[in-house]
Amino acid sequence: MKVNIIDLNGNVVEEIELPQLIEEIREDLIKRAFLSTQSKKRQPYGSDVMAGKRTSAHYHGMRRYRWTMMNREMARMPRIHAFAPPHLIWEARFVPQARKGRKAHPPKVEKKWVERINKKERKKAIRSAIAASLIKEFVESRGHKISELKIFPVVVEDSIQKISKTKELVEFLKRIGLEKELERIKKKKIRAGKGKMRGRKYRRKTGILFVITKDEGISKAVKNLPGCHICRVENLSVEHLAPGGVAGRLTIWSKSAVERLRKW
């Protein structure tokens, strides 16, 4: 498959052959690789192992002794007695069904949250996600506004890596027909649910991914574009190419990044 390389004015300057990344688009594998990557970020958590157990309550179920619960129509649970305040005497503690008792099955720190995936499967998922980003139907179905995009896939000269001002990068994106995409990523909505109270009130659209080989200032320009990210080609992951586990992210490649793909 041959693709056109454009300059910063949007004009075609040359044509190159795409690397042989003929890969079946496995959406199930992409989703699995994405969840595996996300699971490594999860922090283990658990309750105090002594929670609900710090009490003097004990069992009174023995027969024929002074404080027995036998024949008193009382549930045989560990109870407080002796030197407790009057309102707490014979109150049940410790067991899960009692007030202030321990939890029956609390979350445990030793639980393994990481979902493992084979190396070959992970690499296949990345190749599959790259293949999906080169198909216009997949990119459009993901919600990107590319109806006015003149050339697809977008491969640009390495001079794009030297852009250090957001204004210049926005002008370049408008020139190639991504003005509607820029309008789309400006929008944000208030999240539904309790996430509003937890420091993540707003949800933003996922924008363009810039794949490069060397950062010569472009990271400064991209960081001011909401929802857009930059990644070196050797660090590509399913998280970059398929956010949320959904393949088909709009990706802009530098010429050297496409050539580096030949080594995959």
pLDDT, tens digit only, all 264 positions of the chain: 788 899 998 888 888 888 776 678 999 999 999 999 999 999 999 999 999 999 989 888 888 888 888 888 888 899 998 778 888 888 999 999 999 999 999 999 999 999 999 999 999 999 999 999 999 999 999 999 999 998 889 999 999 999 999 999 999 999 999 999 999 999 999 999 999 999 999 999 999 999 999 999 999 999 999 999 999 999 999 999 999 999 999 999 999 999 898 776
- Between CA 77 and CA 96 the distance in angstroms is 10
Return left, alpha or beta for 244; rule: phi > 0 is left, psi -120 to 50 is alpha, else beta.
Answer: left
State the span(s) of the chain assigned CATH 3.40.1370.10. 2-26+115-263
Closest alpha carbon to 163 in 222, 214, 218: 218
Report the predicted TM-score, pTM, of the whole model to 2 decimal places: 0.82
- Between CA 133 and CA 231 the distance in angstroms is 15
Q: Given this model, what pLDDT does residue 12 score?
A: 87
- Between CA 104 and CA 39 the distance in angstroms is 26
In CATH, the number for domain 2-26+115-263 is 3.40.1370.10
CB 3 within 8 A of CB 77: no
Q: Given this model, what pLDDT does residue 2 score?
A: 83
- Hey, what long-range contacts does 233-236 have (CB within 8 A, 24 or more apart)? 233/257, 233/260, 233/261, 234/260, 236/126, 236/130, 236/211
What are φ and ψ of residue 232, in 5° steps?
A: -75, 145
CB 149 within 8 A of CB 178: yes
Residue type, 121: E
Q: Given this model, what pLDDT does residue 21 score?
A: 67
Quick one: CA dihedral 36, 38, 43, 46, positive or negative?
negative
CB-based burial of residue 158 (10 Å sphere; 0-12 exposed, 13-18 middle, 19+ buried)?
middle
